[in-house]
Amino acid sequence: MKVRRTILFLSALALLLPAGALAQANRVVVLTSFPRELFEAYKAAFERANPGWSMVVVSKPTTAGITQIRERAGRPDVDVFWASSVDAFVYLKQNNLLERYTPPAELRRGIPDRVAGFPINDPDGYFVGFAVSGYGIMWNTVYLERRRLPEPKEWEDLLQPVYFGHIIMSTPARSGTTHLTVETILQGYGWDRGWPLLVQMAGNMGALTERSFGVPEAVIAGQYGIGIVIDFFGLSAIASGQPVRFIYPKVTSLVPANVGIVRGAPNPEGARRFVNFLLSDDGQKLLFRPEIGRLPVRASLYAQAPKGFPNPFRMTAGVQFDANLSAARYQLVTRMFDQVITFRHAELRRAWEAIYAAERAVEEARRQGRDVAQAERLLRQAKASARLVPVSEATAMEIAEQVDRDPTYRAAKEREWEALAREAYSRALQLAGQAAQLARGR
């Protein structure tokens, strides 16, 4: 009778629960910016390792993921945040949006405390590293050979006129890995040198994509020759037999890709299971698969790595990445990049195209023995105008928090940066045209 009453009670309870509630009990919802090839492989492997559990993936860019978690604070609809951008996790932690969790000791064994001087795990336990990421340049070897373009080695190489129109990159507002690349350049060169480098490099770009994986796709397809990417895009393409190469410039960083449990997660047990799986041997070895091509945090596994696979624990990073600094100015950098580069890319490209044309005209006039002093002066002014630095580093840090917190102030600053960019690129175009006319004797 007791058994019968229990069955009847459970049957009645099932009728009262919302549709699908019982099926949702053993599922984990993962919000991620990773490409489909990666998260589908992990979904299948996680479900095999955890019978009766399902993994639901919510695919969004890092910045959109942050927004979703922030707007759903107190009533989250995802359990786990899983992404490459360490500064995004610092931001979520600082805003009390992550849950503290320490994986079991047996899973942490064999994982060093640091990689290239950077902590692999959050010291306070709010997120953990599951892979290591570096940032660099990939290129299509066939594309460069056909156009007789040199292979780039450093970020500065991409400023050369010969690369005009051959480069592609995603935007930091839409890609957390691109934001890390931008921050690496800003930290490695310093704000006052880094911004002009980024602006001029963007002037050489043929396109800016909305999602980071659009960059390797375009390079592999031969639509563009050179892409600015996180390392696993290049490594996975090479492992898959594509005609590409990848290089880490000297000014790069090595930082962990992370996973964290969202505060108030609907299914904390499922979240912990997923984090534990990522750190297990099976979860770590999955990173070596050709379509994934990521660097595990478990150092002992590199003895089993594919031939030629980089070992981050034997590499030196040129930049000691400051995740706290990056997180503090996250919104400022992405929004300023949009106003100065993304939304004004056409004007920026025209300015640098005119500058390169003026340079050729000046060089031709010099070979002919004509006086080019005035044309050179105008050309220097054009370049300075086309290497816009909207605010100083000191001013940036003063306004960063207000940009993050105050929508009215942020909108006003965005209008200000847009106006500066319009004026700067228009002036650069005009000055370059005047320099070319002088050089041609008109």
Assigned token pair, 132: 């290591």
Residue 177 is predicted with a pLDDT of 87
Instruction: Quickly name the fold that domain 133-254 has.
Output: D-Maltodextrin-Binding Protein; domain 2 (3.40.190)
The string of pLDDT tens digits covering residues 14-32 is: 334 343 343 467 999 999 9
Count of other CB atoms within 10 angstroms of residue 233: 25
pLDDT at site 77: 95
pLDDT at 5: 52
| pLDDT given at position 131 | 96
Pick out the chain residues at pLDDT < 50: 1, 3, 6-23
Over residues 185-214, the pLDDT tens digits come to 999 999 999 999 999 999 999 999 988 889
- Structure tokens of 227? 């892409």
pLDDT recorded at residue 15? 38
Closest CA to 62 of 414, 376, 334, 432: 334
Instruction: Supply the pLDDT for residue 211.
Output: 83
- What is the average pLDDT score of the chain? 92
CATH 3.40.190.10 domain residues, the chain = 25-132+255-319, 133-254
Q: What's the pLDDT at 184?
A: 95
Q: Determine contact, residues 415/375, Cβ cutoff 8 Å.
A: no
Question: Which residue type does 212 have?
Answer: S
Second CATH level (architecture) for the domain 25-132+255-319: 3-Layer(aba) Sandwich (3.40)
* pLDDT at residue 4, as a whole number: 52
Measured between alpha carbons, how far is 64 from 69 in angstroms, rounded to an integer?
9
**Nearest Cα residue to 151 out of 230, 225, 240:** 225
pLDDT of residue 17: 37
Q: Identify the pLDDT of residue 243.
A: 96
- Cβ–Cβ < 8 Å for 134, 309: no
State the maximum Cα–Cα separation within the chain, in Å, rounded to a whole number. Answer: 109
Q: Cα 124 vs. chain centroid, distance in angstroms?
A: 24
What span, in angstroms and rounded, lies between the C-alpha atoms of 433 and 442? 11
Question: For residues 35 and 58, what is the distance between their CA atoms, to the nearest angstrom?
Answer: 11
